[in-house]
Chains A and B, each alone.
Chain A
Amino acid sequence: MSDHNYTPKSKVGQWFNDRLPLLTLANHLTDYPTPKNLNYWWTFGGILTFCLITQIVTGLTLAMHYIAHADMAFESVEHIMRDVNYGWLIRYIHANGASMFFLAVYIHIFRSLFYGSYKSPREIIWILGIIIYLLMMAAAFMGYVLPWGQMSFWGATVITNLFSAIPLVGEGIVTWLWGGYSVDNPTLTRFFTLHYLIPFLILGLVVLHIWALHVPGNNNPVGIDIKKPSKDTVPFHPYIVIKDGFALLMFMIVFAFFVFYAPNILGHADNYIEANPMVTPAHIVPEWYLLPFYAILRSVPDKLLGVVAMLSAILILAVLPWLDTSKIRSAVFRPLYKQFYWILVADVLILGYVGAMPAEGLYLLIARVATAYYFLHFLVILPVLGFKEKTLPVPLSITEPVLGGSPNLAAARNKESKIE
């Protein structure tokens, strides 16, 4: 931030900014120098901000009608759907909004994996992002419990029981989480409280995430350090604002399709049956965005180790900046990493698929192989690849490959200097 000093033009603005530098902050949304080669994969930060605000606004309005009580929660959700003015719309936006939020965050995460955005000097941005992702999963899980349907109840039972895998104190922790001897009313009310709290924690972390981002500035598809401002950058407004806005519009079309044409396709029909502690649904599945981790949990035949594997699968991402030993950020210049990247994408999609299938026979075998590969990618392939891989030559600036248009660096540099 130090490399671009801002002073407001008006006298009043200067007077105010000297006392509270709010306008300097606002300047980060206007003149802020941004790499000029950012592609559409970079628009998901803005889309995610939109998702968070959508969830908070629809969540607040739903909370005006929802009743967090085991005897009334299910009915109050039906009341929202049938009686409350536009209640159906607000609830469908909120429920599908969670899925859209995860869709966007997965694209955002895989963008970072492809272009090496987690590498030095952006490790803190990355770790903040992983914490946000963990909080998102907690919020989504607790939100899914609130309608108090069969999947709500049994999802809550299975997930809270994960803690019982902890030796000695596990059972005590589960009873403490439940506030009873099973998932019941005390569990519901505390989940509602936490579900309400977490989005605001996320909002705070998003501010830190963006703050940390604006210290080194955006990574870019070429993955090189750039000077800002320079001819490699454009002001955030209007260039990035318009691009983000257009991408957001496209995203909202997808969002609206789900809300208006297939509002329940991402949910589970069993959740329209009220919670019954006597009967477990024949086939319990979490929401789609948690399926890969669910597959990892089920692929390990030991209870404690299964939970450890599932948590490790998420937490391993936090140490990714130190597991990837390659100095080159962007996969564009890493021919081998690029292939392993796509294998990882396929691996996660396969895990998601088998996570939705019964844990037996061939599905279980596939889940085990895919789980093993997931850890192999992070713990073996990435560290070794940094030393073994022969990377392609990286351009010195963003402008160079554009103006040069040839892989020959000397020629490109020559041409560029002529234009100057």
Chain B
Amino acid sequence: MESGLGRSSETSLKASPSMASNTSRNTDLDQQGGRFNSMDQSFFARPGQSFPAFPPLFGVQSSSLYLPDDNEAKIGNQFEPNPSLNNPTVDWDPQVMLSNLSFLEQKIKQVKDIVQSMSSRESQVAGGSSEVQAKQQLVTADLTCIIIQLISTAGSLLPSMKNPLLSSNPAVRHLSNTLGSPMGFGSSCNQRPSSNNEVTIPDITKTPDYEELMNSFNTATQGESDELMKCQNSCGGEGSEPIPMEDHDVKESDDGGEGENLPPGSYVVLQLEKEEILAPHTHFCLICGKGFKRDANLRMHMRGHGDEYKTPAALAKPSKDSSSEPAPVTRYSCPYVGCKRNKEHRKFQPLKTILCVKNHYKRSHCDKSYTCSRCNTKKFSVIADLKTHEKHCGRDKWLCSCGTTFSRKDKLFGHVALFQGHTPALPMDDVKVTGASEQSPDSEAMNNMVGSIVYNFAGSSSDDIPNLDMKMADDTRYFSPLCIDPCFGGLDDFTRPGFDISENPFSFLPSGSCSFEPQNGDS
């Protein structure tokens, strides 16, 4: 038994790199003490044994699984008695059971088909070992699914078994993980309908049939009133009280998947758990348990654990997949129910990548814990956003009269163009400087000028007119901007006779009013 299971898990792992990280979780679980060990043993043989065989593939596919940091807490949750489970009769629903059984039937038939196709092609195909392997893995996965579904169905039947089953849930999941069966039942047993997709590894879905089934299953599990779900709810531990479906249409900018219009059935929807999204690390060392954000960093780290990790093959970046089959289009769903990015939303808009999921979740559903240290007003939940902001913080130099600031001039002008009465405003300090410096001389001059109108010209005149001018108020030269006398010296005898005093129309006027030369009246 041990060898058989070991082999199957080994093969499955080769095709499904995600298993590596699954196993890392197993490690975690094992490390947490043998709480589930007894149950583990009852479902499969020594999962711990399997992982030494595949460390080189460790953490190959980062997108396939995000392990929650706090397994402990979650498991704790699972143990909490669900109020709905207290009365077993309430949970027993023959309809659900029926649908479960029919599903199982369908599943078994599918596995049968696969095995049949394998046997028929075995004679022809010589070099398709990888394909055979993949199919084997597929069969294993499906079988695991069936087993789990069976157990869960049975569990719902037997109220006495509830608690043991509950406690065994992680183990069940463990089993499914180890066997490379990501499919629904394993995880859905755990009452984590979201995580069933998380382990929908593209590599497994080799045959079109299978894919079709997968999709149908996905849609089935997505169905809000799916009876299967209900059944699982009843059997599972983690009470999933129905959340009212609200439209939390959070405005999102760059969460991806915005522009594309994939038809709903054309892609696989994965949904990660909140804890997985918020986990700081996604890649874990199997040996020491250290977590990493990047697979490459992990590979570098692994070199320290022995020479076998230093081979070029181990260090190489794992190619997407060796098989000829193109990976199915994968999209992600936000675990926040009611969010537009949640798959149950009426206008569901999937997220394109894991990174999109992480950023979206943090931006939309988490507290904004990072505050800009410069302005102390802007808050962010994604640290990269904070860094981007800090680059421009304080540089909002484009100001509108309404007080809005802009970091770009064209944005300001767009704003001004849009709103009636708004006008571009200059930075306050600029205006202040010019305004303040001129203020006092202005008022002074104003007073002076008022005085000048009241004939008090000499006293009020600006500095550049010497009082001397006063004497010659009737002289035309008075109007010169320059003072004549110092320059002319002894010229008075010449200028006086030539000067025609009647030329000055203002000789009878107060001197202060003759400030212009009234020639060219209409020119």
A and B pair up: no
- The residues of B with any CB-CB pair to A shorter than 8 Å are none
